[in-house]
Amino acid sequence: MSKVDTAWLRLDTEANRMVIHGILFLKPAIQLDAVRARVAERLLRFPRFRQRVVEHGDSAHWVEDQGVDIAHHVVAERLPRRRGLSRERALQDRLADLAAQPLAADRPLWMLHLIEDYDGGSALVARVHHCIADGIALIAVMLSITDGGIEPPMPKATKKGARVAAATVDAEPEWLADAMVKPINAWTVREIQRMRPIEGADDGEATGRAKGAKGANDARAANGATGGKRAKAGAEPADVSPADRLGKQVLKDAAALIEAPDDAKTRLKGKAGRAKRVAWGPALALDAVKAVGKSLNVSVNDVLLGCVAGAIGAYLRAHGDDTRGQEIRALVPVNLRPLESAWQLGNRFGMVPLPLPVGIANPVKRLYAVHAQTQALKQSLRPALALGLLAASGSVEKAAQRAMLKTLSRKATAMMTNVPGPTQPLGFCGATVDRVMFWAPQAGDMSLGVSILTYAGQVQFGLIADAGLCPDPERIVAHFEPQFQQLLDLALMLPWEAEA
């Protein structure tokens, strides 16, 4: 097992299982036999779904499980119902129960639970240990097992066989070095280009974003300003080489990861327990989110993160907390994997702490504060360095890794995952995948797992929370759509530019 995947294996605790949970809502209903046949035909082509984990001392290994029992890994169940409990709430409670349970260590680390009769269709709950794959890789797997799905690109030598050779996935030193070198190369190229002013370049966009915190109208006006020559006043001396700046940047970003102070103490920060709560809300239209982002000159990701910060802030204030000037951190994954290698599974991303300005009630100021933070992360080397640190943690003994985990969990309150899914509706076993949701696990004592997934023109927001620290995550979810509506209303109030 790679050192990075070993780290995820060992992050498992009684309080937080490192298991990714997902739900596919299907219409019409599907049958258990059809799901088992599809899994046997397509999912077991991937070695990790046929292998179990064996640990020897401080290392872990993938071992082929000769007796993979589909009947154990794909099961049917009925939702337990209580008087006055909706079917949706019953499903949320069942998912919370599953999130607290470990996967069987003597079998491949995944399970599918089919609820055959749910809201006029079926619901398929997937549980996959994080040591098998990250979110981007699992999206590729999901695409491959849908109706008409094709397997992800694989080396030509293995395409002829029905299964992928396990030996082709373990070249960790090469991909780990590549994942760290490419961001460094890209950063160096940017620095070299920065030393060469471009005549007639338009700095309007940068100016508009810098002034964004003053309000949407100021940002739009600045963005429309005429360009000019790049200013040289703020440039470093000409004798400072890109290599010197690279060294300073590495030290700066490493310090930002390692020496960051503990996260703000809120009601969401504390000792996590075993019990969980799960919630989700109605989807947003992706086109509307894109329109807001374009109007305010920020990315779709900025808009959604701003809404998450607003929802958490509103939740804290509703509970009587004073959030003025307060930020909490979320660990945000940054993909470092070429999509053509998604078939290899495993984890190839860096986690970086992103401050969420929960204390800013003004939705526009909060949005531009988030935008400034995401831009700073994009210009840094922190994602690549974080991947290297995670790989290093997979090489040390368990006691040392647990100490690193405690330090990490003190620096953040939430694990945030934002994954782009398919743009068109999928089919599965003759049914249409109506909606998709998933939840990444929290690490250490983090209380929140925040999930954002775009699918078929919709944006789905969900939470999994520690029951002791956040017993009512549905109240955070309830604030998400109103926070977006505020931005949408403001965007619609902006002056329209005359069409050419």
Return left, alpha or beta for 117; rule: phi > 0 is left, psi -120 to 50 is alpha, else beta. beta
Quickly list DSSP for 124-160: EEEEEETTTB-HHHHHHHHHHHSTT--PPP--HHHHT
Q: Is 356 exposed, middle or buried (0-12, 13-18, 19+ CB in 10 A)?
A: buried
Distance of CA 111 to CAs 7, 71, 241, 276, Å? Answer: 21, 10, 53, 19
Tokens of 173: 């030193």
Class of domain 3-169 as given by CATH = alpha beta
Distance CA 64, CA 77 (A): 28
Q: Which residues of the chain have pLDDT under 50?
A: 157-235, 246, 250, 253, 387, 391, 394, 498-500
Distance CA 486, CA 309 (A): 13
> What confidence score (pLDDT) does residue 372 get?
92
User: Pick from 364, 39, 28, 24: which is nearest to 213 by CA?
Assistant: 364
User: Do residues 292 and 487 lie in contact, with contact meaning Cβ atoms separated by under 8 Å?
Assistant: yes
Distance of CA 352 to CAs 106, 253, 380, Å? Answer: 33, 10, 10
> What confidence score (pLDDT) does residue 232 get?
42
pLDDT in tens, 272-291: 899 999 999 999 999 999 99
> What confidence score (pLDDT) does residue 249 get?
52
> What confidence score (pLDDT) does residue 144 get?
84
> What confidence score (pLDDT) does residue 252 get?
56
Quickly list DSSP for 97-132: HHHTSPPPTTS-SEEEEEEEEETTEEEEEEEEETTT
Name the strand (E) or helix (H) holding 307.
helix 300-318
Decide whether 3-169 matches 242-418+444-493 in CATH topology.
yes
> What confidence score (pLDDT) does residue 398 get?
62
pLDDT above 90 as % of the chain = 43
> What confidence score (pLDDT) does residue 222 get?
39
Please report, for the chain, the start and end positions of each structural domain, with discontinuous segments joined by +. Answer: 3-169, 242-418+444-493
> What confidence score (pLDDT) does residue 81 get?
75
pLDDT in tens, 36-64: 999 999 999 888 999 999 988 778 899 99
Pairing of strands 110-118, 121-129: antiparallel
Distance CA 425, CA 67 (A): 34
> What confidence score (pLDDT) does residue 430 get?
94
Distance CA 490, CA 365 (A): 12
- What is the architecture, at CATH level 2, of domain 242-418+444-493? 2-Layer Sandwich (3.30)
Tokens of 265: 């103490």
> What confidence score (pLDDT) does residue 500 get?
40
Tokens of 388: 């290297």
Distance CA 242, CA 240 (A): 7
Name the strand (E) or helix (H) holding 27.
strand 19-27
Distance CA 387, CA 184 (A): 13
